[in-house]
Structure 1
Amino acid sequence: MKIAVIGGTGLIGSQVVKKLTAAGHEAVPLSPSTGVDVITGEGLAGAVAGADVVVNLTNSPTFDDASRAFFQTSMDNILAACRDAGVRHAVILSIVGVDRVPGLDYYRAKSLQEDILKAGPIPYSIVRATQFMEFMAPTLAMTTDGDTVRLPSTPVQPIAAQDVSDTVAEVAAGSPLNGTVNIAGPDVFPLDELGRITLTARPDGRAVVTDTTAGMFAAAPGDALLPPPDARIAPTRYREWLA
């Protein structure tokens, strides 16, 4: 199959392209560097022409309320191009619990992206993943003040990007789900504990202080970021990934 991967040069997209290519598919990475702009629509029609599947891994450049306009415009443009090209399957990557954290602008915007896909003209699949292990470093940086990192004890179940790309590639190569698959890592941690584990393994002079109001994940109530019981559990454990 020919599979167009929009955002195919990023953390997940580059791995998805490699996996699909290794499996014998014609996987085409698309991004601004290849002349594709999902906001203006420039290059989209030609990029998805002849594609059986389009995987959308683009992301908003901001996490504030402006992210809503990004996902609205990009999804409208992508689905219109897919419809005109006769694409038979559209896939997006979303977030576990995205509809359970109304206090986050970005999560509301991602929920909108899912809704647009579900209401669109193309058979679809949604892959929802928990927080990436690779995002722990920027999460620490966002709430660092001098030598102190402030984090809430929000429960998280982190997953390795490699495991996410495995599932996205598998779903892209399969039949449309017209539904959602949830994926997560094998272990649950309070976010503040995860920060301490990280800084013990990679010490840099900072220490974690528990703060229920710190950072974007403080807005997540209860177990909102944890996967449902039927989620797929990936094999990579956080301490193994750190090592």
Structure 2
Amino acid sequence: MRIVVIGGTGLIGSKLVTKLGEHGHEAVPASPNTGVNTLTGEGLAEVLDGASVVIDVSNSPSFEDTAVLEFFRTSTGNLLAAEEKAGVGHHVALSVVGTERRPDIGYFRAKVAQEELIKDSGIAFSIVHATQFFEFARRIADEATAGEAVRMPPVLFQPIAGEEVAQTVGRVAVGSPLNGRVDIAGPERFRMDEFFRSALTAWGDEREVVTDPHAHYFGAEMRESDLVPGDGAVLGEIKYADWLASDAGR
């Protein structure tokens, strides 16, 4: 099966290309680095020729509200139009758990817009909602840092290993289209402030984690369950401490 991975040179995309190739599929990475630009349409017709499935794990270079909305509207619109012309039978997109709960948050609003375009396209689709990746924990801590303090809200937090995100997305891609979505998350549920307090200790990072109910994440105060899935989510098996001790975590 020829499967084109949009964003195929990034964190999740590169893992997908490897995993799909190991299972005998022709997995083609597509990104500006390979001459494919979904914002301009450059290279789309060529890379989609003969493709059965397209997986979109691309992301906006800017999370500013207007820029991220424009990115997902333009990129997804161009991609879906090219897929229709190429006769692609299954569109798979990676999104974020909780997008539909917080339309006041710019990034979430942009992902909802992306999902609506996919649902209205007429192309069979599957959407995978994932929680935050282990690989982004240090970046999240850095962005929450003011002085020597990392300010974190005490909301629920259930991160997942990128390896298991790629595994699930790949499994969905080679199956029948869901024409709906599946939620995935890590096996452990934490309080966000407690997770980062333990994580910084494990990293040997001396910054203090301060519990702050008003601390912003994605530019807004988060509510208790905004970042975790509801019932029925697919849970990974890799625990954060084990991941941190693995080659991937190191």
Task: State the TM-score, normalized to the length of structure 1.
Answer: 0.97
What is the match of residue 226 of structure 2? 224
Q: Percent identity?
A: 52
What is the match of residue 244 of structure 2? 242
Q: Could you say what secondary structure the match of 1:180 adopts?
A: strand
CA-CA distance at 1:97 after TM superposition: 1.1
Q: Deviations over 1:27-52 (max 9, x none)?
A: 00011011111111111111111100
Runs of at least 5 residues in structure 2 that lack an aligned partner in the other structure:
246-250
- Asked if 2 retains the 8 angstrom alpha-carbon contact of 1:79 and 1:121, the reply is no
- Asked if 2 retains the 8 angstrom alpha-carbon contact of 1:103 and 1:220, the reply is no
What is the match of residue 51 of structure 1? 51
Q: How many residues align?
A: 243
What is the match of residue 167 of structure 2? 166
In structure 1, C-alpha distance between the alignment counterparts of 2:88 and 2:221, rounded to whole Å: 38
CA-CA distance at 1:187 after TM superposition: 0.9
- Map 1:71-82 to 2 at 5 A: 71-82=72-83
The ranges of structure 1 where at least 4 consecutive aligned residues each deviate by more than 6 angstroms after the TM superposition are none
Q: Could you say what secondary structure the match of 2:92 adopts?
A: strand
What is the match of residue 21 of structure 1? 21
CA-CA distance at 1:220 after TM superposition: 2.5
- Asked if 2 retains the 8 angstrom alpha-carbon contact of 1:142 and 1:215, the reply is no
What is the match of residue 188 of structure 1? 189
What is the match of residue 86 of structure 1? 87
CA-CA distance at 1:151 after TM superposition: 1.0
What is the match of residue 211 of structure 1? 212
Runs of at least 5 residues in structure 1 that lack an aligned partner in the other structure:
none
What is the match of residue 248 of structure 2? none
CA-CA distance at 1:115 after TM superposition: 0.7
1:202 partnered with 2:192: no
CA-CA distance at 1:213 after TM superposition: 2.2
In structure 1, C-alpha distance between the alignment counterparts of 2:236 and 2:206, rounded to whole Å: 32
In structure 2, C-alpha distance between the alignment counterparts of 1:219 and 1:86, rounded to whole Å: 43
In structure 2, C-alpha distance between the alignment counterparts of 1:74 and 1:199, rounded to whole Å: 36
- Asked if 1 retains the 8 angstrom alpha-carbon contact of 2:3 and 2:55, the reply is yes
Task: State the TM-score, normalized to the length of structure 2.
Answer: 0.94
In structure 2, C-alpha distance between the alignment counterparts of 1:36 and 1:146, rounded to whole Å: 41
Query: Once superposed, what is the RMSD of the aligned Cα atoms?
Result: 1.1
